[in-house]
Amino acid sequence: MDRNDSFRGFVAGHQQALMRTAYLLTGDAHQAEDLLQSVLLKVLARWSRLSHVEHPEAYARKALLNQYISWRRRRVSSELPTADPPDRPYSGEDSTIVRLVMRQALMRLPPRQRAVIVLRYYEDRTERETAELLNCSIGTVVVIALGTTVTIRLLPDRPQDAASQSDLPARGVGPLSHAYKTFCEPDSGKAPSGCRDGGWRVVTRSGKTYHVPEALPSLAPGRTGLRDSPLAISRDGQKIAYYSAEKGTFQVRDLASGQKTTAASKVPKAQLGSISRLMLSDDGRFVAFSKVPDFKDPALLIDMRDGVVRELPNRWVPIGLSQDGAIITLAEYSPRSQLRTISNLWPSSSKGDSTSVILPVHYFFSPLAPDGKTVAVIENRSTAEQPCRRGNLAMMDTLTGKKRKTTVISGLPSDVSQISLRTWLSAEEVTALTMSVRCRPASEVPDDEPAVIDLPYRTMTAYAVNVRTGKARKLATYRAQGFFEIVLPGPPGLCDLGLGAGRGKTRAKER
């Protein structure tokens, strides 16, 4: 067989699969054809060598991915596909709306993130294969796959009917997009239909909303007392952690199987505090809990699998944990912004190695970045007479407190007044949850103005912010009473306790 005949045989055997990948990447049949033709010309030019290797298709696919990423860096296309990708299998559970949402969400991803999703979830390639094809580390693939599961990009903006808001089923629940806490007597406007005072609701990526009756409400019956009952969602949206009213301690629940894992040690309700934070590891093994005020009881890192507990310094918010649970990153906002890293956490009786850095100004912190060494920060420049002022976005070393890069955020509406940094979507993009409310100077707030107990429900918008360029792109909108009343998948960030809290705060009162 001569050179041209063997190349024709290669094209005949692999063209359809390569075309399908090209279509999923570009979202347009004509662009896919152009992309594939360009790549096949490169393959032909090297065919005398490639025809003797065991898998020439691997080279062609790698060239396809590199060419696509190179194209996208030169021209950003906003075109969306008008038909389903060829040979895409859908189960009976996949409705037309879900397919449209997934397709449109896929097209809005940056090129490298889209390539990871196509390889992992449409072509069922392993993390190692995906990393080799994209010339990146397996860790990068894992972070992108967890942070950019396609349908998390587009979430329903409209509330569901009360009839569709039932208790969380025993099993068979899909991955979550977010959870929010409900207080039923807002200062203005209406509470959600079917509101349960102080209760948690979870919302799946397909838009289904469920109450979580097992989670302790953040309000005692009859509004006779306030406590903060935290909830956390794993980065992939498939597990939740919460304080179980029945068990008197924390519980982790797998939403698909319904399996529940209860902490071996009890945690009295009195230790929950008025503002508490919960962090759940990706695999559901570790739960980190901290709260304010700290009193004398410690924060906790709970190994749900082995049934052991490690005490941590209280008041610090857990913002990152290594996969083996041996290193935790903590942040504190008040009275001084600080970062703290504790390593060698196990066995629980060990002292551990702690490194802290006190920062010269106040910052809002993101969760720990995928590199395990940095966080994104925004300086809080607010004063009593100039509230809701903020600085630029920067990357900060968690061990030294030194800024590595500072950039101006672009693409946010001009009226955005509050930002809370949340889940990392990739090594370059972090979620910024925003609100647009009027922040009144202290001189405009009368001394006898009654405190707002339950703030009105507000619209919040999430953006993906590129920490390298500062460019922001819209992801989704939500309704909640404040930043502390909404949870997104992944570790929490840390913002000013005086801004955006849902109960008893007036500094950022909406007008």
pLDDT digits (tens, 9 = 90+) for 180-230: 999 998 988 899 989 999 999 999 988 899 999 999 998 866 665 567 899
pLDDT of residue 451: 67
Does residue 143 sit within a domain?
yes
Q: Coil, strand or helix: which one is 378? A: strand
Same domain, 213 and 307: yes
Final residue before a domain boundary, out of 136, 152, 168: 152
pLDDT of residue 311: 93
Same domain, 194 and 134: no
Does residue 492 sit within a domain?
no
Does residue 84 sit within a domain?
yes
Does residue 217 sit within a domain?
yes
The pair phi, psi for residue 213, each rounded to 5°, is -65, -25
Same domain, 44 and 133: yes
Strands (E), 140-236: 166-167, 176-182, 199-204, 209-211, 231-233
The count of structural domains within the chain is 2
Distances from the Cα of 352 to the Cα of 65, 335, 348, angstroms: 44, 25, 9
pLDDT of residue 90: 35
pLDDT of residue 212: 97
Final residue before a domain boundary, out of 107, 126, 152: 152
User: What is the arithmetic mean of pLDDT over 117-135?
Assistant: 82
Same domain, 362 and 450: yes
**Contacts (Cβ under 8 Å, ≥6 apart) of 496:** 333, 362, 364, 380, 382
Q: Strands 209-211 and 166-167, how do they pair? A: parallel
Same domain, 426 and 474: yes
> Which pTM does this prediction carry?
0.69
Distances from the Cα of 385 to the Cα of 22, 268, 371, 455, angstroms: 55, 40, 38, 22
Final residue before a domain boundary, out of 126, 152, 178: 152
b (16+ CB within 10 A) / e for 282-308: bebbbbbbbbbeeeeebbbbbbbeeee
Same domain, 42 and 178: no
Does residue 504 sit within a domain?
no
User: What is the arithmetic mean of pLDDT over 31-54?
Assistant: 83
What is the domain range of residue 49? 3-152
pLDDT of residue 391: 92
Same domain, 119 and 255: no
Same domain, 203 and 111: no
Confidence band of 12 (pLDDT split at 50, 70, 90): confident
Reply yes or no on whether the pLDDT at 466 is more than 70: yes
Same domain, 145 and 216: no
Q: Coil, strand or helix: which one is 235? A: coil
**Contacts (Cβ under 8 Å, ≥6 apart) of 293:** 273, 274, 315
pLDDT of residue 147: 61
pLDDT of residue 46: 87
Reply yes or no on whether the pLDDT at 162 is more than 80: no
- Which pLDDT tens digit goes with each residue over 424-452? 999 999 999 999 888 888 888 887 777 67
Same domain, 244 and 303: yes
Does residue 442 sit within a domain?
yes
pLDDT of residue 161: 43
